[in-house]
Amino acid sequence: MVIIEAYKGKSITEHPVEVVERKGTGHPDYMCDAIMDAISVALSVEYMKEFGTILHHNIDKGLLAAGRVQKRFGGGRVLKPMELTIGDRATFRVGSKKIPVSEIAIESAKDWIRNNLRFVDPDNHIKYRPVLAPGSEELTDIFLRHGKVRGANDTSAAVGYYPLSPAETVVLELERYLNSKRFKDKYPETGEDIKVMGLRRDSILNLTVAMPLIAGYVKSENEYFERKEIIRKEMLGFLGRFEGFKDIEIYFNSLDEKGRGLGGVYLSLLGTSAEDADSGQVGRGNRVNGLISMNRPMGTEAAAGKNPVSHVGKIYNVLAHKIAKKIYHRIDGIKEVYVLLLSRIGTPIDKPRMASAQVLLEKGRSIKNIKPIVREVFEEELSGINKFCAALAKGKYQIC
């Protein structure tokens, strides 16, 4: 069933207050999401190589427990490593053939850390605790049933929207810039654990940025505040390219206070607060479009790590945003699009129980005239769902 209707509310840009957040690469919640999804991709590759199909797995439960470090200006040492718990279900055996699931999971986690966190040694700074087990017979049986398209392994709803608002764009792009190779090459003293919180009040955008400086690069409290001011000005320069705001204000490491030594600065040994301050968990981070937007509809599913061929908690979350974007670009005169997808467990994933589009149109446009085109987009995307799932399995779509 496909329902297409006019969106009755205001555009996001017409709201007097907008709040949007992004957790960056080194944030413990982001780390959990990204690592669990990397494990799912690696298992999908292994299953395809060995059996020609993706088998049952859901690596969507994960906890990163903070470690303990000793920091000082100029360096420090790790006292207790972080601990990563990896769950939840996977296929370990088909007939006489065994799959080294735990080994794949640990190596995938290490590879992600090695490629994304410059100061974390994946062999010595983190302990790994796989708690993976075989799935239930009924859910596993979904993968043995005949049909060109898998049945949904859950009854779940997902929502997506497009386009991003100017405030959402700024928050997303600022974090990406601060964690880019270009920025890290220029400012290697900055850590990867970045959080950007944006508050727009009418046309004024207020940004609060948390980003640690690396202890090994900072020799004193004075040097910390000198470097901090240089980096703050760099951020302001980057933000100058964004138009449409009366003013953009930035607050950087707001807990800092001069004269308090280590207690008054945001210093990190490894670049992530998981070293000694903050644990992480799957599902507490960004939605699949990279943002936590308080003014937008949001689903509660943790997409990261879920299998890409039957778990609609992943498939429909990403697909809803993809469909919304396609509708927006295909039809002139649209301000915003919101897409809702609802599954019923056991029903083929290309046949959602409900598919809905709410379209906010420019003045003078008629919902009646665009309904056939919107319906056409739904049909195109759902009919090509196997190709979409194959791309998901290879990690070609952003999850966090």
Question: What per-residue string of b and e applies to 189-225 under the rule 16 or more CB within 10 Å gives b?
Answer: bbbbbbbbbbbbeeeebbbbbbbbbbbbbbeebeebb
Query: Which candidate, 85, 116, 237, places its Cα nearest to that of 174?
Result: 237
Q: Quickly tell me which residue has 């207790």 as its tokens.
A: 80
Who's near 263: CB < 8 A, 6+ residues apart? Answer: 257
Q: Quick one: pLDDT at residue 141?
A: 63
What is the value of pTM for the model shown?
A: 0.95
Structure token digits, residue 333: 């005169």
pLDDT tens digit at each of 400 positions of the chain: 899 999 999 999 999 999 999 999 999 999 999 999 999 999 999 999 999 999 999 999 999 999 999 999 999 999 999 999 999 999 999 989 999 999 999 999 999 999 999 999 999 999 999 999 987 665 566 666 666 788 999 999 999 999 999 999 999 999 999 999 999 999 999 999 999 999 999 999 999 999 999 999 999 999 999 999 999 999 999 999 999 999 999 999 999 999 999 999 999 999 999 999 999 999 999 999 999 999 999 988 999 999 999 999 999 999 999 999 999 999 999 999 999 999 999 999 999 999 999 999 998 899 999 999 999 999 999 999 999 999 999 999 999 9
Q: Quick one: pLDDT at residue 136?
A: 67
Q: Where are the domains of the chain?
A: 12-23+165-281
Q: Quick one: pLDDT at residue 272?
A: 98
CATH class in words for 12-23+165-281: alpha beta
Q: Quick one: pLDDT at residue 300?
A: 87
**Cα–Cα dist 72/99, whole Å:** 45
Q: Quick one: pLDDT at residue 142?
A: 62
